[in-house]
Amino acid sequence: MARPGWGILATGGIAHAFARDLIAEGFTVAAVGSRRLEAARSFAAEHGIPTAHGSYEELVADPAVEIVYVATPHSHHAESALLAIAAGKHVLVEKAFTLTQRDARRVADAAAEAGVVVMEAMWTRFLPHMIRVRELVRSGALGEVRTVLADHTQSLPLDPAHRLQNPELGGGALLDLGIYPVSFAVDVLGLPQGIRAHAALTATGVDRQTAMILDYADGRQAVLHTALDTAGPNRAAVIGTRGYLEIERTFYAPTVATLFDERGEVVERIAPVVAQRGMQFQAAELEARVAGAEPTSLPIEETVAIMGVLDEVRRQIGVRYAPDDDA
């Protein structure tokens, strides 16, 4: 059976990374679309994609495209996803899924009404080492899980004109980087009952760094941190009463995880060999859902709920985006 045709909507850096992984792993990339035809043609030539479109509308109307990958800035995720859904396409939307939970709800409801699949491109959830981490946590290998620790910090552009510094484009550490530790904590512990957040903001009004504690009724906690102007270890850990899991540098990308017992002795080392960057696993998950499979992780309702967590963090730290004014 032929694989479904993918359409790449937007041509930024993350779109290049995704296209490389898809093509290297044998997926069918049918077309790319940009608001500038020359950008689409350049992208298509670089990756050997047969069709380039000079508008997003042309891309979603292409009959060879069955799944659209949305790689626009955060501020345009909802708009782009709704465009693809209206055209009857399945959609993979870059994370963070939207700017607000309200927009996430709109996208999820539109997909349900149209009978198409929509999924957040939180590629980490589908990596082999993360699948094994989930298995170990749920098997009871750690005993009672009490704590999740995770950080995601990078040294990124500080130019006030850059999209990361622009609140109109959903800038700040939280949506670009903090989404990873938040999603990881929810994956392990579920949705929190309480949230405490503190941040330092940039001159443009986005978060430069944010610290979060997610609280649970039984005393469990997730302690999370993100920053966009300091490159840190980017590690994660899950701590239980019988041992702990340690996920090494860049926990959100293919890496090594180790299970230790309560004495600190190694029980299992998880080091799967992953081809490419690893973004192909989320594509395989979406194709499976299109074929009728149940989600293995991150169903759309969980994505909507995670956007609610991010909304509350932003409320506490004082970061506002344009859709907040329409709520």
Q: Count, in order, helices (H) and strands (E) of the chain.
A: 10, 14
Kindly tell me if the per-residue pLDDT of 326 is higher than 70: no
DSSP label of 174: I
pLDDT digits (tens, 9 = 90+) for 3-51: 999 999 999 999 999 999 999 999 999 999 999 999 999 999 999 999 9
Split at pLDDT 50, 70, 90, the class of 159 is: confident
Question: What architecture is domain 128-273?
Answer: 2-Layer Sandwich (3.30)
Q: Which residues pair with 211 in a beta bridge?
A: 198, 225
Kindly tell me if the per-residue pLDDT of 279 is higher than 90: yes
Distance CA(37)–CA(57), nearest Å, equals 12
pLDDT digits (tens, 9 = 90+) for 210-229: 999 999 989 999 999 999 99
Check residue 158 and give its pLDDT. Answer: 84
Distance CA(284)–CA(296), nearest Å, equals 11
Domain boundaries, the chain: 5-122+282-301, 128-273
Mean pLDDT, residues 153-180 taken together: 91
Helix, strand, coil in percent for the chain, rounding step 5: 40, 25, 35
Mean pLDDT, residues 125-142 taken together: 98
Check residue 57 and give its pLDDT. Answer: 98
Share of the chain above pLDDT 90, in %: 92
Check residue 325 and give its pLDDT. Answer: 66
Output the average pLDDT for the chain.
Answer: 96
Check residue 293 and give its pLDDT. Answer: 98
Topology classification of domain 5-122+282-301: Rossmann fold (3.40.50)
> What is the DSSP secondary-structure string of 76-143?
GHHHHHHHHHHTT-EEEEESS--SSHHHHHHHHHHHHHHT--EEEE-GGGGSHHHHHHHHHHHHTTTS
Exposed, middle or buried by CB within 10 Å (0-12, 13-18, 19+), for 258? Answer: middle
pTM of the model: 0.95
Give me the phi and psi of 35, to 5 degrees please. -75, -15
- 5-122+282-301 and 128-273, same CATH topology: no
